Amino acid sequence: MDLGISGRRAIVCASSRGLGKACALSLARNGVHVTLNGRDEDVLAATVAEIEKVAPDVEVRAVAGSVSDQQCQQALLDATPNADILVNNNGGPPFRDFRELDRDALIEGVVMNMVTPIEMMTAVIDGMAERQFGRIVNITSISVKKPVLGLDLSSGARAGLTAFLAGVSRSVANNNVTINNILPGFFNTDRLRDSFNASSKALGISVEEAAAARAEQIPARRFGEPEEFGEACAFLCSTQAGYITGQNLLLDGGVFESAF
User: Could you tell me if 149 and 207 lie in one domain?
Assistant: no
User: Could you tell me if 129 and 195 lie in one domain?
Assistant: no
| Measured distance CA(124)–CA(129) in Å, rounded | 9
Structural domain count of the chain:
2
User: Could you tell me if 152 and 203 lie in one domain?
Assistant: no
Structural domain contains residue 252: no
Instruction: Tell me 113's DSSP state.
Output: I
| Measured distance CA(180)–CA(248) in Å, rounded | 6
Structural domain contains residue 146: yes
Question: Are 138 and 179 within 8 A, CB to CB?
Answer: yes
Structural domain contains residue 157: yes
Sign for the CA dihedral angle at 203, 208, 209, 211 comes to: positive
Question: Are 153 and 174 within 8 A, CB to CB?
Answer: no
User: Could you tell me if 122 and 207 lie in one domain?
Assistant: no
Specify the CATH number for the domain of residue 154. 3.40.50.720
| Measured distance CA(24)–CA(248) in Å, rounded | 20
User: Could you tell me if 213 and 166 lie in one domain?
Assistant: no
Sign for the CA dihedral angle at 188, 63, 50, 229 comes to: positive
pLDDT of residue 150: 83
| Measured distance CA(187)–CA(227) in Å, rounded | 10
Structural domain contains residue 202: yes
Buried-state track 108-141, b at ≥16 Cβ within 10 A, e below 16: bbbebbbbbbbebbebbbeebbeeebbbbbbbbb
User: Could you tell me if 75 and 172 lie in one domain?
Assistant: yes
Instruction: Tell me 108's DSSP state.
Output: H
User: Could you tell me if 27 and 78 lie in one domain?
Assistant: yes
User: Could you tell me if 195 and 90 lie in one domain?
Assistant: no
Q: Looking at the DSSP assignment, which residues form a beta bridge with residue 183? A: 250
User: Could you tell me if 109 and 53 lie in one domain?
Assistant: yes
User: Could you tell me if 43 and 159 lie in one domain?
Assistant: yes
pLDDT of residue 15: 98
User: Could you tell me if 94 and 217 lie in one domain?
Assistant: no
User: Could you tell me if 55 and 111 lie in one domain?
Assistant: yes
Which residues of the chain have a pLDDT value below 50?
A: none
| Measured distance CA(79)–CA(88) in Å, rounded | 16
| pLDDT one-digit tens code per residue, 170-212 | 999 999 999 999 999 999 988 788 777 777 777 788 878 888 8
Residue 198 sits in which domain range?
Answer: 186-223
